[in-house]
Amino acid sequence: MASAAPGPAEQARAVLVASGKGGVGKSNLSLNLAIAARRLERRVLLLDADVGLGNAEILAGVSAPLHLGDVLAGRCTLEQAVVGGPGGVDLLAGGHGLGELPPVDGLRWRHVLGQLAGRRWDLVVIDGGAGVGGPVRPQLLAARELLVVTTPEPTALADAYAVIKLVAAGGQGLPPRLWVVVNQVQRAAEGQAAFARLASVCRRFLGVEPHLLGLVPHDPRVREAVQRQVPLLLAAPHSPAARAVEAMARHLLGCPPPAAGGLLAYLARLWPGRGAPPGREAAGGPVAG
Ligand SMILES: Nc1ncnc2c1ncn2[C@@H]1O[C@H](COP(=O)(O)OP(=O)(O)OP(=O)(O)O)[C@@H](O)[C@H]1O
Ligand SMILES: [Mg+2]
């Protein structure tokens, strides 16, 4: 007897990471968010949906014989194309420098998403392409949960608004749950102000309420990690950007923050009124969430 189709409760939570403007940091965020979620004991699949232009393999330093293009073309199942990635994350590559690719239309994309149902993952992080056209459009319109990445620059914010406008008017039932990450911020206040501007126009003109998942500081360690092809969370786990992404994963998954400060905080509590130990003062710098 054929097994019953999995109900909604059995379907993996899938978060599409998108942006209007390209190069804002989606692929690095997707990879590191996936690793951070794995550290929080979730079974995670990183699905590189930027088919033909995939970066996940390069950033993760792995090579995959099969990719999303093969799944879209029906040459293999999604499960067959998945490889083990860094930090215990599973990876479905997007492929790059490929020849002819099947078009990503709504039907094919829904078929890919359908293959996630009832599988072993608790969370699927989908690294999408930039913009609102081409293969990105059906992915945006099918998303139940969308994480829009922007930088504080007005051009990136305007393009993030265009993405949110598309899904708000998607006409396919309820708009998706909307998260925003402001990446490459110089100061927390700059990132907060950028989010406030975006949220205000979304509320006023689209009637939707995005949630701030967090701010990621501009951090030279991100570029170093890319150069080394080692994910930031493994290459520089204590860097400001890595810590910000970890805090975001906690926020996304509803996990409480870790016990504050470990040994240093314990020692500070032993000497109340003396302030934080040198070098650990509240810097007023960028924060997540
Ligand atoms: N927080 C950060 N601090 C400093 N540099 C960053 C940060 N995030 C991203 N970058 C830089 O931006 C580059 C582009 O990042 P990434 O490839 O993740 O963007 P993307 O949005 O996926 O691009 P595309 O639209 O082409 O897919 C990185 O290689 C890195 O050099
Ligand atoms: Mg990318």
Residue nearest to atom 12 of ligand 1 (CA): 25
Distance 40 CA to ligand 2 centre (A): 24
Q: 226 CB under 6 A from ligand 1?
A: yes
Question: Which tokens sit at 8?
Answer: 């909604």
Give the N- to C-terminal CA distance of the chain in Å, as an integer. Answer: 48
Single pTM value for the model: 0.88
Q: Please state the atom number of ligand 1 nearest to the C-alpha of residue 30.
A: 18
Residue nearest to atom 26 of ligand 1 (CA): 23
Query: For residue 215, which ligand has an atom nearest its CA?
Result: 1
Q: Please state the atom number of ligand 1 nearest to the C-alpha of residue 216.
A: 1
Q: Rounded to whole angstroms, how far apart are CA atoms 33 and 39?
A: 10
Of 183, 108, 165, residue with least CA distance to 139: 108
Q: 25 CB under 6 A from ligand 1?
A: yes
Domain boundaries, the chain: 10-270
Query: For residue 148, which ligand has an atom nearest its CA?
Result: 1
Per-residue pLDDT reduced to its tens digit, 134-172: 999 999 999 999 999 999 999 999 999 999 999 998 666
Q: Is 158 exposed, middle or buried (0-12, 13-18, 19+ CB in 10 A)?
A: middle
Q: Which residues of the chain have pLDDT under 70?
A: 1-11, 98-99, 170-173, 260-289
Per-residue pLDDT reduced to its tens digit, 36-78: 999 999 999 999 999 888 899 999 999 999 999 999 989 999 9
Q: Which CATH superfamily is domain 10-270 in?
A: P-loop containing nucleotide triphosphate hydrolases (3.40.50.300)
Q: Please state the atom number of ligand 1 nearest to the C-alpha of residue 53.
A: 27
Q: Please state the atom number of ligand 1 nearest to the C-alpha of residue 24.
A: 21
